[in-house]
Amino acid sequence: MSDILQTLSDALADAVQQAGRSIVRVEARRRMPASGFVWSADGLMVTAHHVVEHEENIRIGLPDGSQTKAALVGRDPNTDLAVLRAESGGLTVPVWAEADAVRVGHLALAVGRPSGQLQATLGVISALSHSPNETHFFAQTDVVMYPGFSGGALVSASGQIIGLNTSALMRGASLTVQTPTLRFVVESLLRHGRMRRGYLGVGVQPARLPKALAEQIGQKSGVLVMSVEPESPAERGGLFMGDTILAVDGQTIENGEDLVSSLGGGRIGQSVAVRILRGGQVQELQITIGERG
């Protein structure tokens, strides 16, 4: 038994060492530093949005002990991600763990560098979730998030980075923004400096569908349109107060989160099919998605 435990212990230490070559210290707030990690060898790094309190005089502590300056490229409060560009090159890019390789019950390590040295805690992945359009992937763990760990990495037992740890997205829970979402958000921030989000211009609330209709179309609820903003994409597309939205571009809509998820930045300017219930009849409208200002 002691040999098994020693082998496991050595493997976890190796995983921390491997990932640690890409973990950095981020000094962008008045209190203690936070963590981040290398995104590309030429100096791009990711950290948590909430730890970047000032956009000037950002300092990065590199794995080799040296320091460098960094500038903010962009940030996304909704996923608590920020992209920095450091005045450094030749950095070690981590090996990424894809979402389909991560399972509930896997061991995982939270790794940070709020001081000059690596720090790590061990836990288990307790839950996984993703948006219907599969752009937002999150993992929940029972790892202890020590002060300064936000912006650091969740690391697999083989040393791959599963995603970015944050304590700001859910009160009392340790969440990890997984690799597919990191790519999606970072690419948008690099391209636009911000996350582009689609816009319909409606206020909605969940609404249960009549039993017969629910059985016919295979969904139990939609979202009832409570208001339509003047001159909005919804008004121009023919949506009225009292309509119930059932689907957007083939994606089933059963609550407000589904509707927000369906309005990704990639659909801005596109005319999409919006399936609605109006007067007891299922209809389809073509609506051009706008961009939220």
CATH code for the domain of 138? 2.40.10.120
Strands 58-61 and 251-252: unpaired
d(CA 122, CA 176): 14
In the structure encoding, which two tokens stand for residue 19, read together?
């990932």
CB atoms within 10 A of CB 168: 14
The reply to whether 28 and 155 lie within a common domain is yes
Residue ranges making up the domain that contains 105: 1-195
The pLDDT, as a whole number, for residue 243 is 94
Same domain, 40 and 185: yes
- Reported as a single tens digit per residue, the pLDDT across 58-79 is 999 999 999 999 999 999 988 9
CB atoms within 10 A of CB 96: 17
**Domain match, 208 and 158 both:** no
**137/86 same-domain check:** yes
79: closest CA among 184, 179, 196, 177? 177
The pTM of this model reads 0.78
User: Of 195, 214, 241, which marks where a domain is finished?
Assistant: 195
254 and 232 housed in the same domain: yes
Instruction: Report the distance separating Cα 7 and Cα 9, nearest Å.
Output: 5
Residues 112 and 206 in one domain: no
Query: Are residues 202 and 148 both part of a single domain?
Result: no
| Cα separation, 287 vs 273, whole angstroms | 7
Neighbouring CB atoms inside 10 A of 264's CB total 21
Apex CA 202: angle with CA 267 and CA 278, to 5°? 100
Alpha-carbon separation of residue 15 from 34, 58, 114 (angstroms):
21, 28, 19
Residues with a known catalytic role: 50, 80, 150
pLDDT value, residue 278? 92
Write the CB contacts of 15 (distance below 8 Å, at least 6 apart in sequence).
109, 155, 156, 157, 158, 159
Quote the CA–CA distance of 60 and 27 in Å, as a whole number: 6
Assess whether 2 and 135 both reside in one domain.
Answer: yes
Judge if 7 and 115 occupy the same domain: yes
Indicate if 29 and 126 belong to the same structural domain. Answer: yes
Split into its structural domains, the chain has a count of: 2
As beta bridge partners, residue 197 has: 264
> Quick one: pLDDT at residue 208?
92
User: pLDDT per residue over 135-184, tens digit each?
Assistant: 778 999 999 889 999 999 999 999 999 999 998 887 777 899 999 999 98
> Are residues 74 and 125 part of one domain?
yes
Which of 195, 229, 254 finishes a domain? 195
Alpha carbons 196 and 114: distance in angstroms, whole number: 31
**pLDDT below 70 — which residues of the chain?**
1, 132-134, 293
pLDDT at 59: 97
Same domain flag for 209 and 177: no
**pLDDT in the model for residue 244:** 94
